[in-house]
């Protein structure tokens, strides 16, 4: 079991200096809860460094290199103590399913809010293997394989906790994955703050980490279905604002 009193030791693997600097500053700003223990710009050096440092969490980026990145992920994750999170841009082509098969615990979008990235580090470090595999199973392409959810009844129980508002938000994200949160808010007639509040609730109920995780979970479990609510159930409840109930669809 991870020791919650010790800082989470994070290692960075990326060939882009600006990305390394940004992640380094972001993570070290959360001391003493977490800190960057090392960083590598080639896969060969990353393997050597990981063997020396034995970090808790490894941020892993795909880039041109003499070594096969999937084989590197597999090698890094031979030790159960080292957990790999793949870092990708929204429009970067990354073999997510194969990375999960190789042992990665999930994907973090570079475009995610900084707090979501920090929370991903905390969650993947403190969860046990079974739970990690459950949420990792919702990632891109994994649903197309022969794998089945670890516990279908458990997943159904989680989904039953979702409100109509939350299901509508999930559909909006699935229909337009690259949309900014402000655009989704305008489309649904709510504030961006309310979108973030509902997303936090969804992540907690479904045991997810971030938007990429939610998107792939929804695709796998059919949460992008056509079971539209009879009317929009969105209500703006921000302090100081009047209630704003969008007109029913089709009006």
Please indicate, yes or no, whether residues 96 and 38 belong to a single structural domain of this protein.
yes
What's the domain range around 112?
Answer: 8-144
69: confidence class by pLDDT, cuts 50, 70, 90:
very high
Least confident of 18-22, 110-114, 150-154: 150-154
112: confidence class by pLDDT, cuts 50, 70, 90:
confident
Q: Which of 232, 115, 112 is nearest to 171 (CA)?
A: 232
The predicted pLDDT at position 8 comes to 96
21: confidence class by pLDDT, cuts 50, 70, 90:
very high
Please indicate, yes or no, whether residues 82 and 131 belong to a single structural domain of this protein.
yes
Structurally, the chain folds into a number of domains equal to: 2
Please indicate, yes or no, whether residues 108 and 177 belong to a single structural domain of this protein.
no
Q: Are 16 and 64 in contact (CB under 8 A)?
A: no
More confident residue, 101 or 18: 18
Phi/psi of residue 224, each to 5°?
-100, 20
Token match 């870092």: residue?
Answer: 87
For the entire predicted model, the pTM comes to 0.55
Q: What is the CA radius of gyration of the chain?
A: 19
- The number of angstroms, rounded, from the C-alpha of 107 to the middle of its chain's C-alpha atoms is 5
Tens of pLDDT, residue by residue over 36-53, are 999 999 999 999 999 999
- Could you tell me the sign of the dihedral formed by the alpha carbons of 79, 106, 110, 34, in that order? negative
113: confidence class by pLDDT, cuts 50, 70, 90:
confident
Token match 């393997």: residue?
Answer: 47
The predicted pLDDT at position 34 comes to 96
The predicted pLDDT at position 165 comes to 85
Phi/psi of residue 174, each to 5°?
-65, -40
Please indicate, yes or no, whether residues 131 and 157 belong to a single structural domain of this protein.
no
Q: 112: domain CATH number?
A: 3.40.50.2300
More confident residue, 246 or 25: 25
Please indicate, yes or no, whether residues 72 and 123 belong to a single structural domain of this protein.
yes
Tens of pLDDT, residue by residue over 130-188, are 233 333 434 434 434 433 333 445 777 788 888 888 888 998 988 888 788 899 999 88
More confident residue, 83 or 160: 83
Please indicate, yes or no, whether residues 52 and 127 belong to a single structural domain of this protein.
yes
- The number of angstroms, rounded, from the C-alpha of 156 to the middle of its chain's C-alpha atoms is 20
- Structural domain ending residue among the three candidates 113, 144, 175: 144
More confident residue, 99 or 11: 11
Tens of pLDDT, residue by residue over 178-197, are 788 899 999 888 889 999 99
Please indicate, yes or no, whether residues 111 and 17 belong to a single structural domain of this protein.
yes
d(CA 165, CA 179): 18
Please indicate, yes or no, whether residues 36 and 94 belong to a single structural domain of this protein.
yes
- Residue 118 in any domain: the answer is yes
Please indicate, yes or no, whether residues 184 and 112 belong to a single structural domain of this protein.
no
- Residue 231 in any domain: the answer is no
The predicted pLDDT at position 51 comes to 93
Q: 156: domain CATH number?
A: 1.10.10.10
């Amino acid at each position: 079991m991870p020791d919650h009193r010790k800082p989470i030791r994070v290692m960075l693997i990326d060939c882009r200096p600006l990305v390394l600097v940004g992640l380094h500053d972001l993570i070290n700003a959360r001391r003493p809860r977490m800190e960057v223990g090392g960083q590598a710009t080639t896969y060969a050096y990353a393997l050597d460094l990981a063997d020396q440092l034995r970090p808790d969490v490894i941020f892993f980026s795909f880039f041109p290199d003499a070594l096969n990145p999937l084989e590197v992920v597999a090698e890094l994750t031979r030790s159960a103590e080292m957990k790999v999170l793949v870092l990708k841009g929204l429009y970067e082509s990354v073999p997510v399913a194969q990375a999960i098969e190789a042992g990665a615990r999930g994907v973090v979008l570079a475009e995610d809010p900084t707090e979501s990235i920090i929370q991903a580090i905390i969650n993947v470090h403190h969860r046990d293997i079974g739970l990690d595999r459950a949420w990792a199973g919702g990632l891109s392409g994994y649903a197309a394989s022969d794998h089945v959810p670890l516990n279908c009844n458990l997943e159904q129980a989680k989904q039953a906790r979702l409100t109509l508002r939350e299901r509508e938000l999930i559909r909006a994200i699935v229909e337009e994955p690259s949309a900014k949160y402000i655009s989704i808010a305008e489309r649904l007639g709510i504030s961006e703050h309310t979108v973030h509040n509902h997303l936090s609730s969804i992540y907690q109920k479904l045991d997810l980490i971030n938007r990429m995780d939610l998107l792939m979970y929804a695709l796998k479990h059919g949460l992008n279905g056509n079971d539209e609510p009879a009317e929009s159930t969105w209500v703006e409840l921000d302090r100081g604002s009047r209630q704003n109930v969008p007109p029913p669809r089709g009006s």
